[in-house]
């Protein structure tokens, strides 16, 4: 049996080489530089607009899920003049805010969304209902055509499909996959 002595026979299989560490740090630097550039080059109103649109989309999907899970009709009421929307039950009582602070009302003139304006809605009565199966309805009738639930700053909208109630965020004039 031969015993190797010295450092040649011992291989350190643990840890990283200096080269591997330098490569990882360089890649992290490049990725963070791109992220910082993208965040700083976007105007603050554009960030607010995109955040408000994503919040509204999330809230509208929540309303549909709530109707299905509770077995009750949930209404989305859009108030263009007051620049807000709210979630209500079929009996017109407010859906409780999931954050625990009263009624489920989102007012774009407050907090983080100053400058974001509801510029329109295709809802004739300004009310969209989801029945207990999650099917979208207007005035008690199934939705027949795609329509914009809400339009923000004439740039982004949330579009809903008939029958399924699938909702998506779109740029007015083109689709934006989210």
pTM above 0.85, yes or no: no
In the block, residue with structure tokens 């807000």: 84
pLDDT band (50, 70, 90) for residue 41: low
Mean pLDDT of 79-101: 89
pLDDT at 178: 45
Reply yes or no on whether the pLDDT at 1 is more than 50: yes
Contacts of 50 (CB under 8 A, 6+ apart): 156
* Domain covering 44-175, topology: minor pseudopilin epsh fold (3.55.40)
* pLDDT grade for 87, boundaries at 50, 70 and 90: very high
Q: In the chain, where are the structural domains located?
A: 44-175
- Reduced DSSP (H G I as helix, E B as strand, rest coil) percent helix, strand, coil of the chain, to 5: 30, 25, 45
């Amino acid at each position: 049996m031969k015993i190797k002595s010295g450092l040649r026979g011992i291989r350190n299989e643990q840890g990283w080489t200096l080269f591997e560490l330098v490569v990882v740090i360089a890649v992290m630097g490049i990725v963070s530089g791109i992220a910082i550039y993208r965040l700083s080059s976007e105007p603050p109103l554009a960030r607010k607009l995109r955040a408000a649109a994503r919040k509204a989309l999330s809230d509208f999907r929540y309303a549909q899920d709530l109707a299905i899970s509770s077995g009750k009709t949930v209404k989305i009421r859009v108030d263009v003049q007051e620049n807000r929307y709210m979630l209500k039950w079929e009996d017109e009582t407010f859906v409780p805010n999931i954050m625990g602070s009263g009624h489920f009302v989102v007012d774009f003139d407050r907090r983080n969304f100053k400058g974001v304006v509801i510029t329109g809605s295709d809802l004739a009565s300004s009310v969209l209902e989801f029945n207990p199966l999650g099917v979208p309805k207007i005035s008690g009738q199934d939705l027949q055509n795609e329509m914009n639930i809400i339009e923000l700053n004439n740039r982004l909208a949330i579009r809903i499909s008939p029958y399924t109630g699938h909702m998506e965020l779109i740029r007015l004039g083109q689709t934006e996959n989210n």
